[in-house]
Amino acid sequence: MTYVCLIAWGLCWTGLPVWAQTAGGQPAEAVGTGVKAGWLKLSDYPRPPAPDTGWGIHDNPNCMWQASPELLQEMRRRYGFSWFKVLACGANKLEVVKAARAAGIEPVVRLYVDRPAPHYPRPGQESADFRRLVAAYVKAGARYIEAGNEPNLELEWAAGEWEKPDRVERLCRQWLHVRRLIAAEGGIPVFYAMSVGGSDGRSAGQWWTDCFETFRKWGAIDEAFAGTAFGVHLGPLNHPLDYPFDPQRNLPHATPAERIESLMKDNSCYLGVELLIHLMDRYLPARIPILSTEGGAFPDNHADPDYPPVTPELHRDLNLGIFQRMNPRHPEYWGDPLFAQMSWIWHTEGGIFAIDSWHDNPKYGRMPILDALEKEPRFDRGVIFETVTSAPARP
C-alpha cells in the first residue's frame, strides 16, 4: 500500500481518504474483513441518511445558479431525491453543499473548469488552489469530488491536446495526480465519467477497458482505485431499459458471455452498468461505488431511428424505470455498486440544455416524471448493507 507523507501540509496519505482511516493512519477495514488492505467494503462508503433511494438530480448546468435550501428540502421530501450533483465554479457552491447535507441529500461536487483534460489541476499553484477548494467543500459536507468530465470527448480537452499521442495514458497519469490531492483533503475521488460515445469512435466501455488495462500494465490498480468511486453517465438514449436484450433486438435469452460481448459492442444503453461491474470484477480486487452523475433519458432524444423518440410520457417511463430498479428488491435491480443516478437536469433557463429540464421545461412545462415521483413508494438502499461483512475478493 502506498504511503506518502506530505510534510508541507502535515498530512499522510495511505491510499485512502481521511474518513476511511483509523487514528493511526491505517485503513479502517484492513483487519479481519477479508478485504485487501487499502480497499473498502461497499458498506464502508458514505451515503445519505435513510431512506437512501439512490435517486438524484443534476444541478443547473449554469454553474452560477444556486439551489435554495427550500428547494433542496422539497427535492428530498416531495420527490425522494437523496443525491444531488453540484456543479461548482470555484467556492460558489459551499452554501448549497451545506444546505443539501442539512436536507439529508448526499452532494457530489464537480469542480468545474473549461476543458479540464488532461492537465487539471497542474502541479504548483493550480494544485494548491485545487486542494484548498476540496478542503472547503469537504468541510461544508461534501464527500465525493469530481475533477473532470467526459474525457472521451475532444471538447473536454485543452486546445491542441486531443491530437497528441497516448491519450489514455496521459489521462490516467493525471488521474493518479488528482486522486491523491482529493484523498489528502478527506474527499473521495470520483473517476472520470465518460460520454456514451467518444470523439475517437470508441465507446465508454472501450475507454473503461483501456484505462483499466493501462493501470494494470503500470501495476497501479491499487493506487488508482482503492478508496475511490467510479463516475459514469448512464442513459438509455431512446432505447428500452433492457436494450440490447429487448425483443426487438431478438437477444432476450443471451447467455452471460453473450451479454458482455454485446454490451462491449454497444453500450449506448443503461445496461452499460452491467458491463462496468463485469470490468470491475475482472480488474479490481473489490467493487467500488458507481455514481451516475449525469444521464437518464432526455426529452426528444431520437438517436436511434429504429426506436421511437422520447416523448414526455416515455421520458417519465424510462426515468421512473431507472429509479425503480435502484431498489434492491426489484427483480431487475441494477446491482449493489450503483449507488446513485443523478439525472440530467433539474432546470436551466436557456441554451441548448433547456429542453432537458425536468422542472419548467421550455417546451413541455413540468415534466410528467415529477408527478410520478411524488406518488412513487420510497425504499432504502441501505438494506443491502445490513448483513454485509466483507466485499468479495475478485479474480
DSSP readout, 266-284? ---STTHHHHHHHHHHHH-
**Distance in angstroms (rounded) separating the CA atoms of residues 338 and 12:** 30
Q: Mean pLDDT in the chain? A: 90
Helix (H, G, I), strand (E, B) or coil at 96: helix
Q: How far apart are CA 157 and CA 117, in angstroms?
A: 4
DSSP state of 48: P
248 confidence band (pLDDT: 50, 70, 90): confident
What does the pLDDT read at residue 395? 35
Assign domain 39-385 to its CATH architecture: Alpha-Beta Barrel (3.20)
Residue with cell 445519505: 48
What is residue 59's DSSP assignment? Answer: P
Q: How far apart are CA 153 and CA 169, in angstroms?
A: 15
Identify the H or E element spanning 329: none
How does 56-66 read in b/e, with b if 16+ C-beta sit within 10 Å? Answer: bbbbbbebebe
User: What is the per-residue pLDDT across 327-379, written as a single tens digit (0 to 9) for each?
Assistant: 999 999 999 999 999 999 999 999 999 999 999 999 999 999 999 999 999 99
- Structure pTM? 0.90
Give the H/E segment covering residue 145: strand 144-146
pLDDT tens digits, one per residue of 114-156: 999 999 999 999 999 999 999 999 999 999 999 999 999 999 9
Which is nearest to 366 in space by CA: 328, 316, 321, 306? 316
Backbone angles phi, psi at 290, to 5 degrees: -105, 125
pLDDT at residue 309 tops 80: yes
Q: What is the distance between the alpha carbons of residues 318 and 328, in angstroms, rounded to a whole number?
A: 18
Task: For residues 60 and 119, give the distance between their C-alpha atoms in angstroms, rounded to a whole number.
Answer: 25
Does position 11 have pLDDT exceeding 90, yes or no? no
For residue 136 the three cell numbers come to 472547503
The DSSP bridge partners found for residue 188 are 144
Q: pLDDT-derived band of residue 387, with 50, 70 and 90 as boundaries?
A: low
**Could you tell me what percent of the chain has a pLDDT over 90?**
84
Q: What is the pLDDT of residue 224?
A: 98
Cα–Cα distance, 371 to 309 (Å, whole number):
21
- pLDDT tier for residue 275 given thresholds of 50, 70 and 90: very high
For residue 392, is pLDDT > 90? no
- Whole-number CA gyration radius for the chain: 20
pLDDT of residue 34: 60
Instruction: Give the pLDDT confidence of 34-93 residue by residue, as tens digits.
Output: 667 789 999 999 999 999 999 999 999 999 999 999 999 999 999 999 999 999 999 999
Of 6 and 310, the structure prediction assigns the larger pLDDT to 310
Q: Which one has a higher pLDDT value, 165 or 5? A: 165
Q: Which three cell numbers stand for residue 326?
A: 435502484
Sequence-distant contacts of 75-78: CB under 8 A, at least 24 apart = 75/103, 75/105, 75/346, 76/103, 76/104, 76/105, 78/373, 78/374
Are the CB atoms for 58 and 85 separated by under 8 Å?
yes
**What's the pLDDT at 249?**
82
| Stretch 6-20: mean pLDDT | 37
